[in-house]
Structure 1
């Protein structure tokens, strides 16, 4: 075991620690500058975060240290209480984190919406950019973001010193380094951009003897150490500062742990969030005691650690040791770094924190308002106020969702013996003008054909959470129903309060007094019936039915059948239990369809995808029996025409689909984290012992060559890019078959590329012109739109 661990450390963790060390040094110095703290405080926090949090924490691949998200809080604390008191607040915040970790409440911190966290980080990024731009331009930052913004135009047109040129040089090197071409510059790309940017600026200032403010270090890290001092001020404000440091650092660390946990390599254990919170508390306590900045898990350093190949916590601990060695032995070198270069680095970091891609994701979940309110609040009012505003907005959004109510009037059934009108959809009641409502609500029933013109029967459906907030909407619909009619009222509600019950009950009594009839049917729970009878005991919660698309492992505890509920079930028994469930629940439903398809199939699409068990074509296309003609193979690959490694299985499928079945659409669907593509990316060394698989993977060489020749897009992981490139290449491989190419060019056959992101369960479609995968449009084009019912 010890031998295996040492080999892993030497092979993976030692190189990764050096990469993280190179990233951490300039960022730690820059964050100290932005926090108005001593420069040594950034190095102390980086050392303690690496060693203490690395050893005691529960996320083995997470790297902790001074975090940009805490700069605004720390800068305000330093201005209000002084540095020594800020260290005491950091130490108390660490003790609070220790207590929270001991109480095992780490997962409750994840209840804070990511919209608020990302909005907070974006707001901090804006504040950082506005403040550090003044330093880059040769000035001094003001006390607030608004003041910095107000003074910025004058700073831009003012006389600029040599420090400005150093800051601009740093930004230019950062931009150029991220765009280095491949080939002979591939090795250089492994060096993090901040290091060469700071090095170039420092060498330029030293060689040209430019007069620019530089970093000032004490004789040693702890030479000017003083014990933390108690802050002087109103106790509620001090308690608020301690809680703010503890909670903001804890939430940022835990969210970082979750994000890194999703990217951990195989064999690395999952993060223990409670232990991680204890480790963060221990690190903050020691950092505050030694005069360091507050510590949190940092996504930039943690991501660099994972991408550099780290396998154990040895990487983060070693990176802390390297910073300690550098701080003790290379102080004169660090003191040559211009402050303007560090400020420019922080400007670039602040811009990265304003992640616009997050806004697109939040819009899909309708949480963008909380993001923008938090961002604006942090910039205009302060970090604490901005977060509180974001929490308030999320509370309002959650309340709105919890009290969402739909009321609709469905087509009235005519009296017996009359012709039924054609069904037509009715818009949600209360959301449309009276003219759009069924005619019977205003002038009598459309089915009014009985003797004497007596109105027919009305059907009202109420769905959602029925509280006092929904009473006006429900009563507005119910009061427009003509008197004397028969009404079927379906209450499909998950909760009903007394105000809602009282409103419906009074309407029912009034309607029945006028000769009408009301039949109330409660679909979800008997809230109305229990209120009428006075039995207000909590309703029994029955376990929801098993979902047919859920994996067996997710359904075993929720399925009533003894086969699926047994603690230990063999694979064959589990399979047979699933068959029995299908025969009991699903087969009766699909039997008419299968009987129709029993002697002939007429699929519309040939769907070529991977054998990966996580890709289920019928689920991601919402298709059923007879819709898809499916070919599955390792890596969703199609051997090229005349390939040296012959394999006719895919070609036979394509021939049969097009020549016999008359299919006119062929779809190639790839997916993220494909094992075949991972093997290609590793050169096939991991599957050398699998002869047949190694021979089959040779069909992916063209995909690998295309991947190596293409330019990366942003921060997209190499494996994800190869999985997408492979889909494009397989579509090109189809065109190597002359007879198939002729059909495509004649417009008789369409080729489609899809990509399934397993983590988000989203499907993207290939845009051939841009050679990129884009989200599937929300609506089909008008000329080809069809409704699936």
Structure 2
């Protein structure tokens, strides 16, 4: 056997084994995300299949895996609640077309410019809302709706659960699922042959079957029956501002999550790195197909992608094959989903929500970069109190303001020696953010003494500062030495 054939055989073998591992990781997550989104379980499988067979075949990132993501659960749930399941396909289709356009215009790399604190805050906010909603599913109860109402209703939920035997049983099943997943990752690598989510859900299924537990289970209608392309009446809702805002939110958040995942996956392997514009177009193509099928939106998912890399995947064949296995399961064994307790899937998603919280990042960030920590916390809180789109916009705005404040450093030197003129020298970046301090210093100068205002040390002088300083100089008959700045700097 030649070295080239041997290398190909090795890659094929590792990709095959990796695809099976990714399939086992993706299966409970695809179903869980769909149920938590208020959609049929089969729609999550369809999105996973498209992520493997469509996005998986396209160029961009060779090793990251796409499918329905916990990060979009809250947004999808809100969209289904507000516009109906029939309109979800239109939203996903429009978002996919926008992603294709952004990628074609080579704007994919711009998503790398988003503040990391906003990203962590977005994920933390998603995690908090996801956990708050899934605590109700953990007890086989329906969540009130928004993040704030879900949190406000927790005391009533606890009181309800304590007085209900079936609810306590469901909580026990869900809590057991979370416990198994948390303990599974601490086992030796050789013991972790099967993924933790699959083992945890499998244990819940066996317990529910063996003891005939009175818990709610997943309802399955069949793969083909769940495919519902959007009708013409659903497209009429595109005239609504709320629908357009939701589409923009889907596009931005799905794109950002996919490209941030690509950056993380690139750090995990030594192979070819991601072409961000091509990856954005691949995600757009996948979401376009999902929209036409009336399925859930997709993103690249770091959990599945990390499992793919850690399993030794060499090429995109692994992620394509994982889509094949999902398709075979959905076509041949869909009614196995009937055995899964809803509380077990809630446990899987609560565990996913906990992993979205920045446990390790927040402490060091608060010690070393307190402003960034504030941006993170405010973004997460804004998502919890408002919604995903508005929360991210608030975080981005706060991040821009913080950056502007940090970069507008100004130093004021006052030389008041002798009886001659008071010499004032301003250095750094004079922007409107620092104008109150500058004017306060100038107004404290002796009014009866001549003043020389030296601005040659300024690297940047914006229009607001320039006008205010010129006005002050005119009023105090001060001599001003102007800097030699380019027109773009003033």
2:136 is matched with 134
Segments of 5+ residues of structure 2 without an aligned counterpart are: none
In the alignment, is residue 237 of structure 1 matched against residue 239 of structure 2?
no
2:46 is matched with 44
In the alignment, is residue 153 of structure 1 matched against residue 155 of structure 2?
yes
In the alignment, is residue 270 of structure 1 matched against residue 277 of structure 2?
no
CA distance in 1, matches of 2:179, 2:437: 59
CA distance in 2, matches of 1:224, 1:485: 82
In the alignment, is residue 400 of structure 1 matched against residue 364 of structure 2?
no
Segments of 5+ residues of structure 1 without an aligned counterpart are: 413-439, 446-453, 528-535, 541-789
- Pair 81,148 (structure 1): closer, same or farther in 2 beyond 3 Å: same
In the alignment, is residue 54 of structure 1 matched against residue 56 of structure 2?
yes
TM-score, structure 2 length as denominator?
0.89
CA distance in 2, matches of 1:537, 1:139: 63
CA deviation profile, 1:339-393 (whole Å, cap 9, x unmatched)? 1100111111111111232324554442222222221121111112212222222
Deviation at 1:46?
0.8
CA distance in 2, matches of 1:506, 1:134: 62
CA distance in 1, matches of 2:487, 2:350: 59
1:166 is matched with 173
- Paired residue secondary structure (1:59): coil
Work out which of the residue numbers 94, 99, 102 in structure 2 matches 1:100.
102
TM-score, structure 1 length as denominator?
0.57
Q: Is the 8 A contact 1:45 1:287 kept in 2?
A: yes
2:258 is matched with 253
- Pair 457,253 (structure 1): closer, same or farther in 2 beyond 3 Å: same
CA distance in 2, matches of 1:499, 1:78: 47
1:575 is matched with none
1:355 is matched with 358
Q: Is the 8 A contact 2:229 2:291 kept in 1?
A: no
CA distance in 2, matches of 1:195, 1:537: 62
Q: Is the 8 A contact 1:61 1:310 kept in 2?
A: yes
- Pair 499,338 (structure 1): closer, same or farther in 2 beyond 3 Å: closer
User: Which aligned pairs between 1:442-453 and structure 2 lie closer than 5 A?
Assistant: 445=417
- Pair 463,130 (structure 1): closer, same or farther in 2 beyond 3 Å: same
Larger relative contact order (CA 8 Å, sep ≥ 6): 2
User: Which aligned pairs between 1:358-437 and structure 2 lie closer than 5 A?
Assistant: 358-360=361-363, 362-363=365-366, 364-365=368-369, 366-409=371-414, 412=415
Work out which of the residue numbers 428, 444, 447 in structure 2 matches 1:464.
428
1:417 is matched with none
CA distance in 2, matches of 1:400, 1:136: 45
CA distance in 2, matches of 1:241, 1:505: 47
Q: Is the 8 A contact 1:44 1:291 kept in 2?
A: no
- Paired residue secondary structure (2:426): strand
1:144 is matched with 146
- Paired residue secondary structure (1:491): strand
Deviation at 1:257?
0.9
CA distance in 2, matches of 1:317, 1:261: 19
In the alignment, is residue 341 of structure 1 matched against residue 344 of structure 2?
yes
2:290 is matched with 287
- Paired residue secondary structure (2:225): coil
Deviation at 1:296?
0.3
CA distance in 1, matches of 2:4, 2:230: 41
- Paired residue secondary structure (1:465): strand
Structure with higher Rg: it is 1
Q: Is the 8 A contact 1:98 1:281 kept in 2?
A: yes
Q: Is the 8 A contact 1:62 1:260 kept in 2?
A: yes
CA distance in 1, matches of 2:442, 2:482: 15
Q: Is the 8 A contact 1:49 1:63 kept in 2?
A: yes
Deviation at 1:68?
0.8
Deviation at 1:303?
1.4
Q: Is the 8 A contact 1:369 1:393 kept in 2?
A: no
2:28 is matched with 26
CA distance in 2, matches of 1:223, 1:156: 37
Work out which of the residue numbers 454, 457, 461 in structure 2 matches 1:492.
457
Deviation at 1:468?
4.3
Work out which of the residue numbers 311, 326, 331 in structure 2 matches 1:323.
326
- Pair 512,130 (structure 1): closer, same or farther in 2 beyond 3 Å: closer
CA distance in 2, matches of 1:232, 1:37: 21
CA deviation profile, 1:645-693 (whole Å, cap 9, x unmatched)? xxxxxxxxxxxxxxxxxxxxxxxxxxxxxxxxxxxxxxxxxxxxxxxxx
CA distance in 2, matches of 1:325, 1:82: 29
- Paired residue secondary structure (2:54): helix
2:300 is matched with 297
CA distance in 2, matches of 1:355, 1:63: 23
1:9 is matched with 11
Deviation at 1:40?
0.1
Deviation at 1:195?
1.1
CA deviation profile, 1:32-63 (whole Å, cap 9, x unmatched)? 11100110001111111122111114011111
- Pair 356,519 (structure 1): closer, same or farther in 2 beyond 3 Å: same
CA distance in 2, matches of 1:163, 1:350: 19
User: Which aligned pairs between 1:177-188 and structure 2 lie closer than 5 A?
Assistant: 177-180=184-187, 182=188, 186-188=189-191
Q: Is the 8 A contact 1:81 1:231 kept in 2?
A: no
Q: Which has the higher helix share?
A: 2
CA distance in 1, matches of 2:439, 2:226: 73
CA distance in 1, matches of 2:286, 2:180: 34
CA deviation profile, 1:149-169 (whole Å, cap 9, x unmatched)? 222222223324132221122
- Pair 142,160 (structure 1): closer, same or farther in 2 beyond 3 Å: farther
1:657 is matched with none
- Paired residue secondary structure (1:335): helix
- Paired residue secondary structure (2:142): coil
Q: Is the 8 A contact 2:140 2:215 kept in 1?
A: no
Deviation at 1:147?
2.1
State the superposition RMSD in angstroms.
2.7
Deviation at 1:475?
3.5
